[in-house]
Amino acid sequence: MNTETVKTVADYVTENIKNAHLFKKHGIDFCCGGGISLAQAAEKANVSLEVLEKELEDTASVTSPGYDFKAWKLDFLTDHIINVHHQYVEENIPLLIQYAARVAKVHGHERPELKRIQQLFTEVAQELSAHLKKEELILFPFIKKLVRAQEEGTPVPQPQFGKIDNPIKMMETEHDDAGAIFKEISELSDNYNYPEWACNTYRAFYAKLEEFETDLHHHVHLENNILFPKAIELERRLNG
């Protein structure tokens, strides 16, 4: 397979969301850090470029790409992100906070990293809750206004925040912050590997944490690599 030097890790996931699992297996960040080439990602992850290329070919040959998110209208994509990913975050934060507190209380003396994981998840939960509201109340409604202006040929609205890349930069910074916290959680938990003696709550906690991180990666990928660039381009075209 000929790898285009300009093609990024994020591009591969945008083309086929199932490539996300492949990159995750190798510890390659495809959302916040997805703007690097396949060769750079392979070197950073200490993986053979040829192995990555072969696995990408295999994934393309045996699986359908799934949803073509990049072809979706932006207003529909924002609704999907809210109804699927934002709802997932809101529904699972209370359960994970409960698990974190219980596991840290019972096993924290044997595994002190559990107390740190509890602290980190509480922090990221608070940050994400505020982050989602900013998207739902400010950024996403403006994106829908841009779509409506394009469809109806009406003037582009002038928001208080100026250009759309201003709130987008803030959202991307917050994505980076959440990604850094989950990177630390993953390292502290040995990639969510619990000890053999772990109780059912301990096991459920790590399994749910890993699931939460995976969903967050997909969520951030849709925004950073598809929604945000297309919204910036739409605003630019509408403003001439």
Which amino acid appears at position 180 of this protein?
Answer: A
pTM over 0.75: yes
Q: Which of 220, 182, 204, 185 is nearest to 13 (CA)?
A: 220
Q: What angle do CA 133, 171, 23 make, to 5 degrees?
A: 115
Over residues 142-179, the pLDDT tens digits come to 999 999 999 999 998 889 999 999 999 999 999 999 99
pLDDT of residue 66: 65
pLDDT of residue 54: 84
Q: How far is CA 104 from the centre of its chain?
A: 26
Q: Which of 130, 231, 136 is nearest to 177 (CA)?
A: 130
pLDDT of residue 229: 97
Pairwise CA distance, residues 232 & 162, whole Å: 12
Over residues 112-150, the pLDDT tens digits come to 999 999 999 999 999 999 999 999 999 999 999 999 999
Pairwise CA distance, residues 55 & 48, whole Å: 11
Q: Which of 84, 95, 110, 129 is nearest to 204 (CA)?
A: 95
pLDDT of residue 181: 97
Pairwise CA distance, residues 55 & 52, whole Å: 5
pLDDT of residue 63: 54
pLDDT of residue 2: 47
Residues found in the chain: 240
Q: Point out the residues of the chain with pLDDT beneath 50.
A: 1-4
Pairwise CA distance, residues 7 & 36, whole Å: 8
